[in-house]
Every structure is written in structure tokens, then in C-alpha cells.
Amino acid sequence: MSDEITYLGSRAPSGRYPPPQPRPVTGVVLHVEAGSEPAHSIVLRKSDAAVVQIGRRPGTRSGGRLEGNRPGVASFNCPVVSRSHAKLVFADSGAVYCCDAASHHGSWIRPRNGDAERKLVPETPIQLSDGDLLTFGKQVTSSDGLGIVKPVVCRVAFLYGANPPPFKPLVVPNPGRYGVSSDSESDSSHDSDIEELPPPWHSKDSGNGKFVDPFIPKIWVPEDFQDEDEIEDDDQPDQDHHFDDHYSEDSQYGSSMDLSSSPEPVNQPSEPVVIGAWPRSPSSSPSIFSSSFPPIRLVSSSTPLIDEPESPKAVVEDALDDEIIVVDKQPEPESDAAQLKDTLSSLKSEVDKLQVHRRKYKQRFNSNIASITDKFTELEEKTTEMNDLYNLLSDKVNENADSCQQAQAQLDVIQLDLFQQRMDPADKDEQSQDDSKATAKMLEGLVAEMTELRDTTRKEMAEELQSVRDAKDALKILTEEVLVQTQSLKRKRVLDDTDEGSNTVAERPRKRVRQVARVLAQTTAMGVVGAAVCWSALAFA
């Protein structure tokens, strides 16, 4: 007799694998591509600091790049980058966010997918992607007006950690059924026994009404089959064979409970066929009933071998054969949910309070900035007025200097005439006397004019000096007020500009006062010399 092995098992389970988990981001590399600094890269790791501050390096306005960024800090030598410009945040979920810290010139982002560049909203984080382009600051004209200052442009590159361990799904062996059958043309006199090994957790009645230990296999001999073609596969049970499957449709793995017994034929077969079943033992698949599976109900799947009325005892034993394995997930207590809601409401109220305080401080800051701007405008107007007064005083001093030069020239002419008169006193005695008298009169008139001019100049100089002192005092008071308000806002750059401006304005009146005093001294000396010459001329006459 030639035997053949026929596979009568069920289909292999079609497991659905979960999507691969993304690799965690362990750091960010900022590739600086544009700006006042040469091209370089800054490596920022999550292990060093979860929050990275981005800003201008203190004590520098321009120049080359300085090495040595501290952990958690990315600083640049760029005037358009604020001291505290922005920050990068490494989230626990593996994402990276960028947040503008209300900088003066702002921050921009250009996504790698080609979208348009957009400005970051202050104090609003935005998630970064590998390849995004960040711009800190904007292009402005330099203070000397001869060039431009470019912003810092960085390209973002992520650093990833090791790949997570791959998901290994639970592999359940195929609960196939194999049998050894004879050829259809063999003699019907060849009989063979049928041995079936039921599942160790499910046993059926042996027909005599006694309970059988589920861990002991039993041997039973079925009736002869009519024909081997009437054997049906387990995947297509007949109407008299019912199997209650309580598995969830979302389950990804098969179970050994999918194995069912062969249906009992209605008619008596004429030729025996040997069918064997080898279900898996509990030791070979211990992880089937783990806590990750849905509730499972095991029920009887085969009909009695002998058609006979069921006794009460058999019904009780059948009820004992039904096993129910339920894995329930304990519901979360309502107290935890209520506590979580209370915590969320308290956090929301705290965030609202912080938002109110932030708006209040921002409004106060804007009002202070407006008042300081008005003060500086007033200071510029006062400075312009002082410059006009200085120019007027300088013009008057120049006019007095020209008058002194003319007087000096006239005195030189008089001295020359006197010298000529002394050389020829006999011939021109009378003429010289007349000339001397006329010259004396002219000198007297000149001295009177010079005296009047000196008095007028002194009076005007005193008035101008008094106005200069008043303007200086007003400017000093205004400068002190601006300094007090500027110190409260901690703006070092504005303080330096104000100090330089105040020193410059204060030095001008001192220099001009010295010049005016020098001119007055020269004028007085010239007047004294002229008077002496006049009196000497009168004495010789």
C-alpha cells in the first residue's frame, strides 16, 4: 500500500507589523553659511543642555569669529543679533523647536520643502526639520553709512542616536494538521486506527461519561468512512460542525485554538483513513495567553462521536470542559481623572496670569521706550539750538578781530608819520603841528570808538556766556534724566552714546569761552597800546 502525506492545516497568521519608530534626535549642527563671520559649524548636543540660548557674544560689535562656545550657548559676532535673540529646545519626544526671544531685528525660517520664508512670532515655538534654513537678524546699513551688515544664516542638520531595537513579533508555529492516507484504489479491507492528540487545555467526553484529565491524550477509533473524497478541510466546516471564535478581528497572531477536529461524516465510510493531529503543548507556546491579547473564550468545537442522548452527567462534564480566559484591563479610577482635570485647570489659570503679566510688562516697556525717544528728540533740538548760538557768537568774535586788525594798521601808519616828522622838524614844524593835532583828534575819536566797542563787546559776551551757561545747565539736567531712565532699562549701548554726546556738548562751550576771553584780552591790550600811543603823540606835540 502506498501512503501519502496530506496537509490539512489552517492558514498561517497574517501579522501586521507596527510602523518603524523614528530615530531620536540627539543634537543639532548649525552650519553658518552667511553673515559677517566666516563659514563654520556649531555642534549643539542634547546631552549638554536641553535648551540652547542663541545671541550676540558680549563685548563684541564686529570682527572675526571667536572660538569657544560654552555648552548650551550659541553666540555670534554680529551687530544685528540681539544679546538674547532666540533659543533651541530639545523636546522629550525627540523633536527640536526654535523660539524667537522677542529680538530687535527678529528671526526667519525657510523650510527645506521650498515654502516661502516666514518670520517667527516672538515667544512662539516652531518645530524644525532637518535641512531648514534659519536667519537671525536682518540686513541693515552700518553706522558709518559706508557698508551693510548682513544677518547670520544657518542651515539646520540633525544628529541622530542609535537605531532602536527592531520590533520582533511573536512567531506562532503553524498549527497544521497532517495525515497519512491510503490510495483511493486500495482495498477496503485494510483498516487502520486513528490517533488524535487533543489540545492539553481542552478535552472531550470519551463516551462513557467519565471525566478525562486534560493533560493525558486519549485514543479513539472512528467509524469507517465511505470515501476519502468526503474529507473536508478545517477551513470549511459543514453545517453540523460549529466553532465559536471569540478572537478579536484586530488580533495579529494565530493561536493553537484555531485547530479543530475533523467533522464527523453523516454516512458510514467504507474505507478507513488515518488522520493525525499534533497540537502544540503548553510548553512550546507559553506566550500565547499574555496580557497583550484580547479576552479569549475556548469552547467545544467537535460533536459527539456516538449518537446517543446526553445524560445529565455528560452535560455537567461538557460544561466543565468550557474554559474562559479573560484578560481585562482595569479602568482608570475616576479620582485620577478628576485630579488631572484640576491640575490642568490650575495650570491654565497660571498660564493666563503669566500672559497678563507679560502684556503688562510689554506695555510698560513700550511706554518707557516712547518716553526715552521723546527725550532724545528734545535733546537733539537743544543741541541744534546750541550750535546756532555758537555760530552767532563765533561770527561776532571774528568781526571784533577784524576791527582790531584795522586799528593796528592805523597805529602803524601813525608811528610812521611820527618818525618822519622827527627826521625833518625844522621844515615841517608848523605842518607837523597841524597834522599832529588832526592826528590827535583822530586818535581820540578812535580811542573813544574802541572804548565803546570794548564795552559793547563785553556786554554782548557776558550775555552770550550767560545764555551758554543756562543752556549747559539745562542740557546737564536733561542728560541726567535720560541717564536715570536708561540705567533702569539696562541698555549699555544707549548709555555709551549718551555719555559721549554729553561730553562732546559740554566741551564746546569751554573751548569757545577760552577763545572769547583771549580775544577780549587782545582787544584790551590793543586799546591800552593805542591810548599810550595817543598820549605819547600829544606829549611830543
Asked which of 70-74, 94-98, 248-252, 434-438 is least confident by mean pLDDT, the reply is 248-252
In this prediction, residue 303 has a pLDDT band, given cuts at 50, 70 and 90, of very low
The mean pLDDT of the chain is 69
In this prediction, residue 500 has a pLDDT band, given cuts at 50, 70 and 90, of low
In this prediction, residue 139 has a pLDDT band, given cuts at 50, 70 and 90, of confident
- Predicted confidence at residue 153, as pLDDT, reads 92
Asked which of 275-284, 372-381, 456-465, 484-493 is least confident by mean pLDDT, the reply is 275-284
**Edge-to-edge strands of the sheet including 274-276?**
3-7, 178-182, 274-276
Overall average pLDDT of the 188-201 stretch: 48
Q: Quick one: cell of 267?
A: 454516512
Residues 6+ away with beta carbon under 8 Å from 403: 453
Strand, helix or coil at 31?
Answer: strand
Higher-confidence residue: 22 or 184? 22
Q: What is the Cα gyration radius of the chain?
A: 55
Overall average pLDDT of the 8-32 stretch: 66
User: With contact defined as beta carbons under 8 Å apart, do 272 and 191 qualify?
Assistant: yes
Whether pLDDT at 226 is above 80: no
Q: How far apart are CA 129 and CA 32, in angstroms?
A: 17
Whether pLDDT at 486 is above 90: no
In this prediction, residue 109 has a pLDDT band, given cuts at 50, 70 and 90, of very high
Whether pLDDT at 137 is above 70: yes
Higher-confidence residue: 455 or 87? 87
Asked which of 34-38, 204-208, 392-396, 514-518 is least confident by mean pLDDT, the reply is 204-208
Name 159's bridge partners.
27
The helix-helix angle for 429-489 and 492-540 (nearest 10°) equals 170
The helix-helix angle for 334-423 and 429-489 (nearest 10°) equals 170
- 255-285 pLDDT per residue, tens: 444 444 444 444 444 444 444 445 444 444 4
User: What's the Cα-to-Cα distance from 295 to each of 18, 186, 321, 325, 522, rounded to whole Å?
Assistant: 21, 47, 18, 6, 116
Of the candidate CATH numbers 3.40.1400.10, 3.40.50.150, 3.40.190.10, 2.60.200.20, the domain formed by 25-160 belongs to 2.60.200.20
- 340-366 pLDDT per residue, tens: 999 999 999 999 999 999 999 999 999
- Predicted confidence at residue 498, as pLDDT, reads 58
Query: Strands 3-7 and 274-276, how do they pair?
Result: unpaired
Q: How far apart are CA 150 and CA 34, in angstroms?
A: 8
| DSSP letter for each residue of 160-189 | E-PPPPPP-PPP------EEEEE-TTS-TT
Whether pLDDT at 85 is above 90: yes
- Predicted confidence at residue 507, as pLDDT, reads 52
Q: How far apart are CA 466 and CA 462, in angstroms?
A: 6
Whether pLDDT at 135 is above 80: yes
* Residue-range domain boundaries for the chain: 25-160, 194-329, 352-540
Higher-confidence residue: 367 or 282? 367
Eight-state DSSP code of residue 143:
T
- Predicted confidence at residue 87, as pLDDT, reads 93
